[in-house]
């Protein structure tokens, strides 16, 4: 039995273990890692700031290693390699013999030789332990700087933002991400970062970290300085190759163990994979090449397959930096290659796209995408498979709103050999076979059969397109049935409820369903009933989720939020005083939101009725922050106060919010009304936005923030208020009737055949003849509106549910709080 020792326990090390297990290797495997935990996902390291849950990043738990006969040793460092006798020694003097040794030591953060870099407050951004130290230090800091404006640096900036620190990025080069994007793209990215509140300092060489024992600032070689409390260094990586140097293994000039195409070092019994390996003088800093290397080594060890080799890897990449899509593929610059570039620079919407085409216009050489990288997967495939370009290559990046892609962008044009998932090396052919031969009909089935999309997840949009295209070619009609209890689509269920005037889940299940229902159909039906009849959500025994059950968002620590509605952000001093009194009496954390409301956090469940009784008596209504419904309609001060304002945006925002308050929908809804084109209400970032013009109002639809932000697009221009309301009634009802569950307006209208042009025909031209019906349906919903909290506090039976215990009115004793900045905060669970 061969003895395999793997030094290092990162993502590539785990992948090698997984590949060896898959190939039924009978070897004895020992993994030795310095960190105190099993391998975890460094690609999504910044997600740790969301909930401080390291388990969510874990590639596989310790049980997985044990279950597969792998000896995992953590918190131990290999200090020496004895090549002659083939064993390694750790810092505890433990000895492990090997037949094959795999070095997966990864890399360390490069720390520039700057005077004062050893001071307190200076950190590197590399491991979970690094993040924990940063978070602890960040609690007493107010500002942070990130040294390095590359991929890692901007990820570190996201970490600083998540810690609520005033953040600056310091970059030596004249633009951000200088290895991936060009000057124009760098300028646009800089503007986007600055819009997010991050200061960008370019062309800055740091000469000194100022302060005594603790840093207080940074001094630059041009004589300028920056006052800052802490510094995060993210200026690149250095291969961890110190073991090889001591053992006499060949090391590349720029670092890293020199390997051949079999991933062998200068000792044929020792392999190297990942960021510590130098293949043809190249260090690959992405995870996908490391996975390819792991596959090669597994083939050598398990099958002695000398024909399976590593030949380099495409360094194309797509990622979301602080909510901004950034992607590059192929050669983004083509500095030394004859080519002609095609680019668009939409500064208004923050989108930059560039593709490089050969002089004959037949081949794609590379490109850059910023702000909108939806076409990355297809463009990348066209590059690596050298696919023929359409007659007008500019069509690849220029598309009208609502289109899924430009000319020649269909996945049917991809060859079966096209690598769709680079993390797991899954081709289009692999995916098609799982559909045609194994009967797979959904994304989860493809993940299980091929592992496509289980890595970084960037390939999932293309995987889904291949799924739909293949099923269509097979003549398979895929109905998006809700679940096994209801053989209907959401739209069919909507019509069944409406036409048959069904008012409860039980009645619907008896007439059109089977079995006892499940956690898929119950909340969906609850949403439909609320959207169709607008009855009190608490009357329905099967309601959408926990938040609806208690008419409040459950928050960290088990407490709840209280969010009264403040239409248009306009509030009287008397109402403002009541909010302050309630917050003070119940010791609630108070925050003004971006949607012009006041959030009150930390309410205990049994205090909710008491709090809302005070608020309702003062004239407040439920703000529906807990529901899939209208949240806010944000406004600027408009013509009432602003010298640039054209119309009364506040009054119109209040009118619109009061019209649609309580409206239940497939997903949450937000609106905005701006008094002029300066757009202070950020209306185009909302599901619907209304902007004043000289002649009336422009109505925009289909925008949203969040993980995939979208700008709303123009539905109708220069229309009066009455027409705005009419079109909004139609638009919102059409959305409620036809969208998928939990689908926001942006992806809904993008996936409509014809996109915004089709919507204009339906909403503005009434091409389907349903305009009047949509308006009448909206009138019914508006007429049935009742403040949910007012009803709840006045109904003794409803009020009984707001207790932690069935026989006791006391608070939940497990809830713990602490005080910071003069307010109460939850203690982490």
Tokens of 73: 């040793």
Residue 321 has pLDDT above 80, yes or no: no
Least confident of 252-256, 268-272, 542-546, 670-674: 542-546
Instruction: Name the more confident of 194 and 65.
Output: 65
Cβ 725 vs Cβ 699: under 8 Å = no
**What does the pLDDT look like over 72-84, one tens digit per residue?**
999 999 999 999 9
With b meaning 16 or more CB within 10 Å and e meaning fewer, what string describes 245-284?
eebebebbeebbbbbeebbbbbbeebbbbbbbbbbeeebb
The CB density around residue 140, as the number of other CB atoms within 10 Å, is 9
Write the CB contacts of 539 (distance below 8 Å, at least 6 apart in sequence).
Answer: none
- The confidence band for 541, taking pLDDT boundaries of 50, 70 and 90, is low
Average pLDDT of the segment spanning 219-239: 94
Write the CB contacts of 443 (distance below 8 Å, at least 6 apart in sequence).
Answer: 453, 460, 463, 464, 467
**276 in a labelled binding site:** no
> What's residue 806's pLDDT?
60
Average pLDDT of the segment spanning 206-221: 96
Average pLDDT of the segment spanning 522-533: 86
- The confidence band for 26, taking pLDDT boundaries of 50, 70 and 90, is confident
Q: How far is residue 373's CA from residue 351's CA, in Å, rounded to a whole number?
A: 9
**In percent, how much of the chain has pLDDT > 90?**
57
> What's residue 566's pLDDT?
94
> What's residue 412's pLDDT?
78
Select from 209, 196, 110, 93 the least CA-distant residue to 154: 196
Place of tokens 């190297």: 272
Q: 820: part of which helix (H) or strand (E)? A: strand 817-820
> What's residue 406's pLDDT?
44
Residue 494 has pLDDT above 50, yes or no: yes
> What's residue 620's pLDDT?
96
**680 in a labelled binding site:** yes
User: In degrees rounded to 5, what are phi and psi of residue 186?
Assistant: -65, -40
Average pLDDT of the segment spanning 232-253: 91
Average pLDDT of the segment spanning 507-526: 83
Tokens of 755: 């996109």
Q: How far is residue 449's CA from residue 467's CA, in Å, rounded to a whole number?
A: 13
Q: How far is residue 685's CA from residue 681's CA, in Å, rounded to a whole number?
A: 9
- Output DSSP code: residue 676: S
How long is the chain?
829
| CA distance to 505, 595, 687, per residue, from 626 (Å) | 21, 14, 17
Query: What domains can you pick out in the chain, each with its CATH number?
Result: 3-106+239-303 (3.50.50.60), 122-235 (3.50.50.60), 333-473 (1.10.10.1100), 606-783 (3.30.413.10)
Least confident of 150-159, 331-340, 518-527: 518-527
With b meaning 16 or more CB within 10 Å and e meaning fewer, what string describes 190-205?
bebbeeeebbbbbebe
Our CA angle for 485, 489, 491, nearest 5°, is: 130
> What's residue 409's pLDDT?
55
> What's residue 120's pLDDT?
96
Output the DSSP codes for 543-563. Answer: -S-HHHHTTS-B-TTS-EEE-
Name the average pLDDT for the chain.
89
> What's residue 401's pLDDT?
34
The 3-class SS string of 229-265 reads CEEEECCCEEECCHHHHHHCCCECCCCCEEECCCCEC
Q: 801: part of which helix (H) or strand (E)? A: none
- The confidence band for 258, taking pLDDT boundaries of 50, 70 and 90, is very high
Q: 589: part of which helix (H) or strand (E)? A: strand 589-592
Residue 828 has pLDDT above 70, yes or no: no
**483 in a labelled binding site:** no
Say if pTM beats, i.e. exceeds, 0.75.
no
Cβ 537 vs Cβ 543: under 8 Å = yes
Q: Where are the beta strands (DSSP E) in 78-220?
A: 78-82, 87-90, 95-97, 100-103, 107-109, 122-124, 143-147, 166-171, 199-202, 206-211, 215-220
**636 in a labelled binding site:** yes
């Amino acid at each position: 039995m061969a003895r395999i020792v793997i030094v290092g326990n990162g993502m590539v090390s785990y992948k090698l273990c997984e590949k060896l297990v898959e190939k039924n290797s009978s070897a004895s495997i020992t993994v030795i890692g310095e960190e105190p935990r099993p391998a975890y996902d460094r690609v999504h390291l910044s997600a740790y700031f969301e909930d401080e849950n390291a388990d969510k990043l874990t590639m596989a738990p310790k049980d997985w290693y044990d279950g597969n006969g792998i000896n995992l040793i953590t918190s131990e460092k290999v200090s020496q390699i004895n090549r002659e006798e083939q064993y390694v020694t750790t810092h505890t003097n433990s000895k492990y013999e090997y037949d094959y040794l795999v070095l997966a030591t990864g890399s360390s953060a490069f720390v520039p030789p700057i005077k004062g870099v050893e001071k307190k407050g200076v950190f590197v951004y590399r491991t979970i332990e690094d993040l924990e130290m940063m978070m602890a230090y960040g609690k007493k800091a107010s500002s942070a700087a990130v040294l390095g404006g590359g991929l890692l640096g901007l990820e570190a900036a996201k970490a600083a933002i998540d810690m609520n620190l005033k953040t600056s990025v310091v970059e030596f080069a004249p633009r951000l991400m200088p290895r991936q994007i060009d000057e124009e793209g760098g300028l646009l990215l800089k503007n986007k970062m600055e819009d997010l509140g991050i200061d960008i300092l370019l062309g800055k060489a740091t000469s000194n970290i100022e302060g005594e024992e603790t840093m207080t600032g940074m001094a630059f070689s041009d004589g300028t300085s920056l006052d800052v409390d802490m510094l995060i260094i993210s200026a690149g990586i250095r291969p961890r190759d110190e073991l090889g140097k001591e053992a006499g293994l060949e090391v590349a000039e720029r670092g890293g163990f020199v390997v051949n195409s079999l991933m062998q070092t200068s000792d044929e019994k020792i392999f190297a994979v990942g960021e510590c390996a130098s293949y043809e003088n190249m260090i690959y800093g992405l995870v996908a090449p490391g996975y390819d290397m792991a596959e090669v080594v597994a083939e050598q060890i398990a099958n002695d397959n000398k024909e399976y080799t590593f030949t380099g890897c495409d360094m194309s990449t797509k990622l979301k930096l602080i909510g901004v899509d950034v992607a590059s593929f192929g050669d983004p610059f083509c500095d030394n290659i004859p080519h002609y570039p095609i680019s668009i620079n939409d500064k208004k919407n923050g989108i930059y796209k560039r593709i490089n085409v050969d002089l004959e216009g037949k081949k794609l050489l590379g490109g850059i995408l910023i702000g909108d990288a939806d076409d990355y997967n297809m463009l990348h495939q066209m590059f690596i498979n050298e696919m023929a370009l359409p007659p007008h290559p500019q069509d690849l990046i220029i598309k009208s709103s609502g289109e899924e892609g430009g000319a020649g962008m269909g996945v049917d044009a991809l060859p079966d050999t096209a690598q769709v998932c680079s993390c797991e090396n899954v081709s289009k052919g692999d995916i098609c076979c799982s559909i045609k031969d194994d009967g797979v009909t959904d994304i989860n089935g493809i993940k299980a059969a091929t592992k496509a999309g289980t890595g970084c997840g960037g390939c999932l949009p293309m995987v889904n397109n291949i799924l739909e295209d293949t099923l269509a070619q097979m003549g398979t009609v895929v109905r998006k049935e809700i679940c096994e209890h209801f053989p209907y689509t959401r739209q069919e269920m909507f019509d069944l409820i409406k036409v048959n005037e069904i008012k409860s889940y039980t009645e619907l299940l008896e007439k059109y369903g089977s079995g006892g229902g499940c956690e898929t159909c119950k909340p969906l039906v609850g949403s439909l009933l609320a959207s169709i009849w607008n009855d009190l959500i608490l009357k329905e025994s099967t309601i959408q989720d926990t938040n609806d059950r208690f008419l409040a968002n459950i928050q960290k620590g088990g407490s709840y939020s209280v969010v009264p509605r403040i239409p248009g952000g306009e509030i009287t001093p008397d109402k403002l005083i009541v909010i302050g009194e309630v917050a003070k009496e119940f010791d609630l954390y108070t925050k003004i939101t971006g949607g012009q409301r006041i959030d009150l956090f930390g309410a205990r469940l049994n205090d909710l009725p008491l709090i809302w009784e005070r608020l309702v008596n003062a004239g407040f209504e439920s703000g529906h922050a807990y529901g899939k419904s209208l949240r806010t309609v944000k406004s600027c001060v408009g013509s009432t106060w602003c010298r640039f304002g054209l119309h009364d945006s506040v009054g119109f925002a209040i009118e619109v919010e009061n019209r649609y308050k309580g409206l239940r929908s497939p997903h949450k809804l937000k609106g905005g009304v701006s008094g002029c084109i300066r757009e202070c209400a950020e209306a185009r970032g909302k599901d619907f936005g209304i902007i004043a013009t000289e002649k009336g109002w422009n109505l925009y639809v289909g925008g949203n923030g969040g993980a995939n932000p979208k700008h709303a697009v123009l539905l109708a221009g220069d229309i009066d208020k009455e027409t705005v309301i009419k079109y909004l009634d139609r638009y919102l009802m059409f959305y409620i009737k036809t969208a998928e569950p939990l689908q926001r307006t942006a992806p809904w209208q993008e996936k409509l055949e014809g996109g915004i042009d089709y919507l204009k025909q339906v909403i503005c031209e009434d091409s389907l003849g349903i305009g009047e019906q949509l308006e009448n349906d909206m009138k019914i919903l508006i007429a049935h509106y009742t403040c949910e909290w007012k009803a709840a506090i006045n109904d003794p039976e409803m009020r009984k549910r707001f207790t932690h215990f069935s026989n006791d009115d006391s608070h939940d004793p497990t809830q713990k709080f602490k005080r910071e900045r003069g307010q109460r905060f939850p203690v982490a669970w």
